[in-house]
Structure 1
Amino acid sequence: MFSLIQLESFVAVAEELHFGAAAERLNMTQPPLSRQIQLLERELDAKLFTRTSRQVALTAAGQVLLPNARRILDLCQKTSLEVSKVATGESGTVILGYTSVAGQSVLPRLLALAARELPEITLVLREGVSIDQLDALSKGQIDLGLLRPAVHRPGVQTHLVKKDRLVVALPAGHHLETGKGVLIKELVGLPLMMYSTHEARYFYDLVLRLFDSVGVSPTVTQVASQIPALMALVSVGLGVSLVPASARDFAPPGVVFEELVGPGGMEELNHSDIFLAWESEAGNPAAQRLRELYLAELQGNDATPRKAGDGSSAGK
């Protein structure tokens, strides 16, 4: 089988029609160049050039080979460039998970960054609740996740990208709509639109902690896994709910919001921050490049990771 150096030598001579000029173009002397042409002719069992003391010309076989040789060399160069870009993270595919709220509040900035800085990367977007994203990260099914890490996942690291808190979602015209905030105790006895214990475990536990902190219990009448669904229930007057403040930007008509107020310690408990998460041993250069650019844009060079479920950077 012929080699790339043989094809490069052939194309140089075919384009220059002069062995000396072709050798100079390839930064080599004429004897090894002639040797490469001879090896190629032997491999193809065809004479590629006619030579006289004054002229070098392509044979019919050489004329057939020239466009094919150019295509092969162009393909090799393109392949080398593509492989190099994938290896350095300049191109490739990144599978990105996100929660419904993150899709509204955090994801657009990340998408804009990718389009601006890494235009050759293909992003595959997958919406999912936090617990499912953590599972997908551990299994290598997604590369990055925008989520709220409720539990520890060995090998999964996270970094805070947006601070958030729960607010009270009320049907418009509700008697608690005062603009002065709502105490947890004021929600006792009201029908509460609550989070699923599995798909939305993070929010389920958080809401219970807030009620427990003042020694009361909620009256749960409806359960859903997604925040838009809970707000839809509130909008038709079925009850109230506690949702992230960032969800206010995409609330349906008929829903109003009040801040959650209470005794000392309420602010410490009331945080539902969004994190970027990734599997520390994952080997996708494009995902690593996008992650580094995103954290650098958000935090400068202060992008200290932590393990999922470690509260060391949550809400601080």
Structure 2
Amino acid sequence: MTQPPLSRQIQILEKKLGTQLFGRTSRKVELTSAGAMLLPRARQILDLCIKTELDVRRVSSGEAGAMTVGYTAIAGQSALPLLLRRAADSMPGVSFMLRELVSTDQMDGLVKGSVDLGLLRPIVARPGIVSRPLMKDRLVVALPAGSSLLGGMPIKEGAPLPLGKLDRLPLLMYSTKEARYFHDLVLRLFASAGAHANITQYASQIPALLAFVQAGLGVTLVPASAMASAPAGVDFHEIDGSHGIQELNRVDLELAWNEETANPAVRRLLELIDSEGLGVSDSAGSSASDPKGLAASEPDS
């Protein structure tokens, strides 16, 4: 800028602030006390303008911002840490707000916009909500350790257990409202094995069901991935695969979001998962994938 327009800009600024910023003599020009106070703040303002422009661009591209992630209790011990680790590596500027919610509450949050991304079980779809497979698991039998519920029948810990052996035993069951997915799956498995489901307690969360088992109140079926964080005093057994149960015994975890989301970080994270997956092996030890390269399978424990 040449001298004349520079002088005019200084005069305009001094008039706006109502004070003189420069002391001028025929020999020199120097800052007044007011000008000396303004100088560092002016530099901060300019720096903030530049930073704001960069931040706005980063948020619009999904490189920065915030995201609310809903997850089930068991997903919080398996899929969620993997998802956060991958996001931290590739999206360090995005902060995550985590909310542990049952699948139905996550779906409500996705519809209302209070949840950006959900890690939930397959439930009845809602208009505008998109989901895709994320991980696969299976159910296993959870029994009180050293329990006589099986009538003294000796069975090696971890050995496959026919569901027929659970016929009419006190069954700790999933809530029909908050955990309908697991409730219906357990009933289908019992029906396939010709076993009567003698339901004595209901709970919406897997940790609560395992607490009932630990207290010796009955048996239940939980995802295999829950074994890693199970309380002491609970034994687990694989479900015997006869009667076609092996094909029926499949537990899915899905990634869901609102297709009208205005959060660029959601789109960026989905692209990241599409391109790189979560790097988890399926129960057979091979890499799992779906047509979009997203699905993987939860570890056996």
Normalising by the residue count of structure 2, what TM-score does the alignment of the two structures yield?
Answer: 0.82
Q: Deviations over 1:257-300 (max 9, x none)?
A: 11112335322321112122111111112233233324433269
Please list the CA deviations of residues 116-164 of structure 1 after superposition, one character each: whole Å capped at 9, or x if unmatched.
Answer: 3333322111111111111111111111111112211222122222210
Which of these residues, 232, 257, 280, is aligned with residue 259 of structure 2? 280
Q: Which residue of 2 aligns with 1:91?
A: 64
Matched, 1:254 2:254: no
Give matches, 1:117-196, under 5 Å. Answer: 117-174=90-147, 175=153, 177-178=155-156, 179-196=158-175
Number of the residue aligned with 2:198: 219
Q: Tell me, in whole angstroms, the C-alpha distance in 2 between the residues paired with 1:54 and 1:128.
A: 73
Q: Shift of residue 111 of structure 1?
A: 2.2
Deviation larger for 73-82 or 189-198: 73-82
Q: How far is the alpha carbon of 1:34 from its aligned partner? A: 4.4
Find out whether 1:70 has 2:70 as its counterpart: no
Q: Percent identity?
A: 57
Alignment partner of 1:198 out of 177, 180, 187: 177
Contact 1:131 1:150 in 2 (8 A): yes
Inter-CA distance 68–172: structure 2 relative to 1 (3 Å threshold): closer
- The 3 A distance-change label for structure 1 pair 233 and 55 is same
What CA RMSD, in Å, does the superposition of the two structures yield over aligned residues?
Answer: 2.9
| Deviations 1:3-35, CA, capped at 9 Å, x for gaps | xxxxxxxxxxxxxxxxxxxx4xxxxx5554444
- 2: CA distance, partners of 1:217 / 1:74: 71
Where 2:242 maps in the other structure, the secondary structure is: coil
Match of 1:237 among 216, 222, 229: 216
Q: Which amino acid aligns with 2:141?
A: V
CA offset digits 1:63-89 (Å, max 9, x no partner) = 343233223223323332332322222
**1:177–1:100 Cα change, 3 Å:** farther
Q: Indicate how the Cα distance of structure 1 residues 253 and 51 shifts in structure 2: closer, same or farther if over 3 A, else same.
A: same
Gap runs ≥5 in structure 1: 1-22, 24-28, 307-312
Aligned length: 282
**Structure whose residues are more often helix by fraction:** 1
The letter of the residue matching 1:277 is A
Task: Give the match for residue 3 of structure 1.
Answer: none
Shift of 1:52: 7.0
CA contact (8 A) 1:93 1:123 kept: yes
Change (3 A) 1:185 1:314: farther
| 1:222 partner SS | strand
The one-letter code matched in structure 2 to 1:268 is: E
1:94–1:122 CA contact under 8 A, matched in 2: yes
Of 156-165 and 39-48, more deviation after overlay is shown by 39-48
- Asked if the contact 1:169–1:257 (Cα under 8 Å) also holds between the matched residues in 2, the reply is yes
User: How many Å apart are 1:38 and its aligned residue?
Assistant: 4.2
Task: Confirm or deny: 8 A CA contact 1:273 1:314 kept in the other structure.
Answer: no
Report if aligned partners of 1:85, 1:91 keep a CA contact under 8 Å in 2. yes
> Secondary structure of 1:265's partner?
helix
Deviates more, 1:81-90 or 1:219-228: 81-90
Cα deviation 1:220-276 (Å, max 9, x = unaligned): 111111111111211222211111011111111111111112335322321112122
Give the 3-state SS of the residue equivalent to 1:223 in structure 2: strand
Q: Give the CA deviation at 1:304.
A: 3.5
Post-superposition CA distance 1:57-113 (Å, at most 9, x none): 334553343233223223323332332322222222211111111111111112222
2:143 & 2:192 partners in 1: Cα distance?
A: 22
Q: Which moved more, 1:138-147 or 1:153-162?
A: 153-162
Which runs of no fewer than 5 residues in structure 2 stay unpaired?
148-152, 280-288
Matching residue's letter, 2:40: P
Distance in 2, Cα, partners of 1:48 & 1:262: 85
CA distance in 1, matches of 2:161, 2:38: 81
Q: In the alignment, which residue of structure 2 is the partner of 1:292? A: 271
